[in-house]
């Protein structure tokens, strides 16, 4: 901190400026939709990031590690309920995205599909805790099916 800021007051002002920027960015409506789209794509990217190593373990590309499966599956379970927040009305456009308009006309079903992922991810956490690779494989398949079900219905190709 000593090198970055000459005084504590400068440090506080600098941090305040950092925080103020994104708040200014969401103040305007078109930017707000763009921010929201970015948020949801970030959440979905987290899902892809965390499921990938589990898939690689099941394919034998990297060694099976039940502790790592538990960690990644826990993250899937935590991110799943964040998906729906990223799809408020008015965010079909505003930035490039692949969300189909049917999401907003079938919001209850979309929410149910996000809840299915959350439930399946909890199942994967439980399977990881048994340490049994076969059970992890089955639970991972169930998680993958929930991703696919939502993509087939609501993600444009």
Residues in contact with ligand HEC by the rule CB under 6 A: 37, 40-41, 44-45, 47-48, 51, 76, 83, 97-99, 110, 113-114, 117, 143, 146-147, 150-151, 154-155
How near is the Cβ of 89 to ligand HEC at its closest, in Å?
A: 14
Shortest distance, position 2 Cβ to ligand HEC, whole Å: 39
Among 46, 138, 156, smallest CA distance to 100 is for: 156
Task: Give the Å distances, CA to CA, from 62 to 52, 59, 69, 116.
Answer: 11, 8, 12, 28
* Total Cβ atoms within 10 A of residue 148: 11
Q: Which is nearer to ligand HEC, 41 or 133 (CB)?
A: 41
Minimum CB–partner distance for residue 110 and ligand HEC (Å): 5
Looking at beta carbons only, is 45 or 130 nearer to ligand HEC? 45
Burial class (CB in 10 A: 0-12, 13-18, 19+), 71: middle
- Residue (44 or 136) nearer to ligand HEC, CB: 44
CB of 133 to ligand HEC, least distance (A): 19
Give the residue from 120, 107, 108 showing the smallest Cα distance to 147.
Answer: 120
Query: Nearer Cβ to ligand HEC, position 47 or 69?
Result: 47
Give the residue from 115, 89, 113 showing the smallest Cα distance to 101. 89
CB of 5 to ligand HEC, least distance (A): 35
Nearer to ligand HEC, 13 or 49 (CB): 49
What the block records as the tokens of 66 is 């039940």
């Amino acid at each position: 901190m000593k090198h970055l800021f000459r005084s504590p007051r400068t440090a506080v002002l600098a941090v305040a400026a950092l925080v103020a920027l994104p708040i200014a960015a969401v103040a305007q409506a078109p930017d707000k939709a763009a921010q929201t789209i970015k948020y949801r794509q970030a959440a979905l990217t987290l899902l892809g990031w965390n499921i990938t190593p589990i898939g690689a373990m099941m394919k034998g590309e990297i060694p099976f590690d039940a502790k790592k499966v538990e960690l990644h599956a826990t993250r899937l379970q935590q991110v799943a309920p964040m998906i729906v927040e990223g799809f408020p009305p008015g965010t079909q456009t505003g930035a490039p995205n692949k969300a189909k308009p049917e999401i907003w006309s079938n919001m209850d079903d979309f929410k149910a599909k996000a809840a299915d992922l959350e439930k399946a991810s909890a199942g994967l956490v439980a399977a990881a805790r048994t340490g049994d690779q076969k059970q992890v494989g089955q639970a991972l398949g169930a998680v993958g099916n929930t991703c696919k079900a939502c993509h087939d219905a609501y993600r444009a190709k």
